[in-house]
Structure 1
Amino acid sequence: MHLKDSAFYKLVLEEHKFNFGTLYFFDSIIVSEINEGVLFDYQMAEEINEQKDKFYTLSNQDLDFISNRVNNYALIPQDWMKYTQKYNCFKSYVVVPYSKTAASNIDVEKFFYKKTIISLDNLVEAFDFVSLSVPEKN
């Protein structure tokens, strides 16, 4: 499910579109939705980090990151490792895979990410994990 199609969308404080995907900023949570077929590299991660630094005064250790993998894309493992070595990793890194390919990519990422990657079945579980309740419908 795309974030825009969920009840959580009304809690988004800022939305940023890039040529490779979209970021949604909440109080202390970032949600990413990377576009179909993207080969996600270090430069793209830097663009996300730059936008994050403009919006938040919080450090990465105070932010939760949810990768909402509604599309199939690939990460360059060496770039991911380079990024995580340069920056302190997020408080939590949650992935919501929607395909077998996305789920199997998590296993590869675990070799390069020093902290735990949490894989959950849907956005509600992901937001529950990072302690943001489903908003009431108005």
Structure 2
Amino acid sequence: MYFEDSDFSKALRYDKVVAKFANYYLLDDFFIIEVNEGEHFNWDKLNSLLDALRDHYGNHKALAYIANRVNSYSIDPVLWSYFDKDDSILVAASIVTYRDSSYMNANIEKQMAKIPLKRAHSLGEAINWVQYLKEFN
């Protein structure tokens, strides 16, 4: 389910950013990204995303990340190595999958991530998990 089609979009305050390759939804302590169909999420797109996040939140905000994988796209799993750095603003992530193949890819990404990463079967499951992270309570 797309974020804007969910009840969460009506209940939560957010700003929407439309990029060439994805839509981002920027909330208080987390953001949701929905990458467009057929894209390949690589270093250039990650840097574009991080620039948008720093413009919105500043350089020192702790954030969680939700990848709402409603579309089929590829991602370079090595990107998770970026978030090992001390200057990373991401403290946790959740990948919402709607297909078995996406869930299997999320398993591989979980092995590469150094931050907590939850695989979820629904947007609600991911949002609820993020909202109760100790970093935000």
Query: Could you say which TM-score interval applies, normalised by the shorter chain?
Result: 0.7 to 0.9
Task: Tell me, in whole angstroms, the C-alpha distance in 2 between the residues paired with 1:120 and 1:83.
Answer: 22
The whole-number CA distance in structure 1 between the counterparts of 2:66 and 2:80 is 18
Measured against aligned partners, the alpha-carbon deviations of 1:98-134 in whole angstroms (never above 9, x if no partner) come to 11111111122123211231011111111111127xx
- TM-score (norm: length of structure 2): 0.85
- Map 1:78-93 → 2, pairs under 5 A: 78=78, 80-86=79-85, 87-88=87-88, 90-93=90-93
Q: Structure 1 runs of 4+ off > 6 angstroms?
A: none
Unmatched runs of 5 consecutive residues or more in structure 1: 133-138
Q: Is the 8 A contact 2:33 2:68 kept in 1?
A: yes
Does the aligned pair in 1 maintain the 2:64–2:130 contact within 8 Å? yes
Cα distance in 2 between the residues matched to 1:85 and 1:91: 10
Q: Distance in 1 between matches of 2:94 and 2:44?
A: 21
Distance 2:95 2:84 in 1: 20
Q: TM-score w.r.t. structure 1 length?
A: 0.84
Specify whether residues 17 and 105 from structure 1 end up closer, same or farther in structure 2 by C-alpha distance, changes over 3 A only. Answer: same
Q: What SS does structure 2 have at the residue aligned with 1:130?
A: helix
Shift of 1:16: 0.7
Note the 1:54-73 alignment, pairs <5 A. 54-57=55-58, 59=60, 62-73=62-73
1:124 is matched with 124
Gaps of 5+ in 2: 133-137
Change in 2 beyond 3 A, CA 1:56/1:124:
same
Q: In the superposition, relative to structure 1, how do residues 40 and 18 fare at CA in structure 2: closer, same or farther (>3 Å)?
A: same
Q: How does 1:26-37 map to 2 (within 5 A)?
A: 26-37=27-38
How many aligned residue pairs are there? 130
CA RMSD of aligned residues (A): 1.9
